[in-house]
Amino acid sequence: MKAALITGASRGIGAAAARLFAENGYHVIVNYANSEEKAHALCDEIEKNGGKATPVRADVTDRDDVRRMISLCVYHCGGIDVLINNAGVDFYGTFGDTDGEVWDRVIGTDLTGVYNVTHAALPELLESSGRIINVSSVWGVHGASCEVAYSAAKAGVIGLTKALSKELGPNGVTVNCVAPGYIDTDMNSRFGRQAVNNVIDRTPLCRIGTPEEVAKLMLWLCSPDSGFITGQIIGIDGGFM
């Protein structure tokens, strides 16, 4: 059974990916930092539906935590075939209000966290000729007012993806990035109806996306059909302008 490690998998896009990968025969490692109850409930749900899932607590900003998580992946699964770097936090506020602590938290989780987990998992991914999927954002491509730290971190994920794909390509490891637009998740639930309508007005498909749609793209990027695709930044944003 192949193994997929999904960071930040207790809710939203990560949880949708965990369900879908489990349905398609993967042993899913559900990583979480704080949402223990949600992570365990998700794993219970997956197991009741005939899948295989193991919850593992680790803060992606803590390298000791990350190394322990990778060791547990190897213990439970024998290796890692797919790594989905999904864990993320954001901050909505002006650049003037983005103090050093906020900047460090967002960059540390959304960008350095990708480095920490990928670097620790690299020996296992090289062994399996695995797949790496990094989660950026439409704001990593276009930038967003009042989300400077988040936009910078997600732009960094794009650069990391492009560079690492060139380095790992000769080893048969693909590295791709999905860049979701406005997706119906807890992270976006704080925005009011008017803000959502403004996004919909800028989206040619005239709606917001779902976590399940992003998860399906991730699963396809791990399929044999996508074996010649690497270093790509794939927008899943309804054509957002």
Contact 18, 9 (CB under 8 A): yes
CA–CA separation, 7 vs 33, rounded Å? 9
With CA atoms as reference, report the closest residue to 87 among 110, 71, 68, 69: 110
The secondary element (H helix, E strand) that includes residue 167 is helix 148-168
- Count the Cβ atoms, other than its own, within 10 Å of residue 75: 9
CA–CA separation, 40 vs 42, rounded Å? 5
Q: Structural domains in the chain?
A: 3-236 (3.40.50.720)
Distance between alpha carbon 19 and the CA centroid of its chain, in Å? 14
Q: Which tokens is 47 given? A: 């197991």
Give the pLDDT of the chain (241 residues) as one tens digit per residue.
999 999 999 999 999 999 999 999 999 999 999 999 999 999 999 999 999 999 999 999 999 999 999 999 999 999 999 999 999 999 999 999 999 999 999 999 999 999 999 999 999 999 999 999 999 999 999 999 999 999 999 999 999 999 999 999 999 999 999 999 989 887 666 667 787 888 889 899 999 999 999 999 999 999 999 999 999 999 999 998 7
CA–CA separation, 118 vs 97, rounded Å? 31
Identify the bridge partners of residue 55 per DSSP, sorted by sequence position: 30
- Count the Cβ atoms, other than its own, within 10 Å of residue 168: 21
- Note if 150 is an active site residue: yes
- Strands (DSSP E) contained in 171-222 are 174-180
AA identity, residue 86: N
Which CA distances in Å does 191 have to 138, 183, 186, 225, 241? 17, 12, 10, 37, 19
The active-site residue, picked from 26, 92, 115, 150, is: 150
Q: Which tokens is 227 given? A: 């074996």
- pLDDT of 196 reads 81
- pLDDT of 27 reads 98
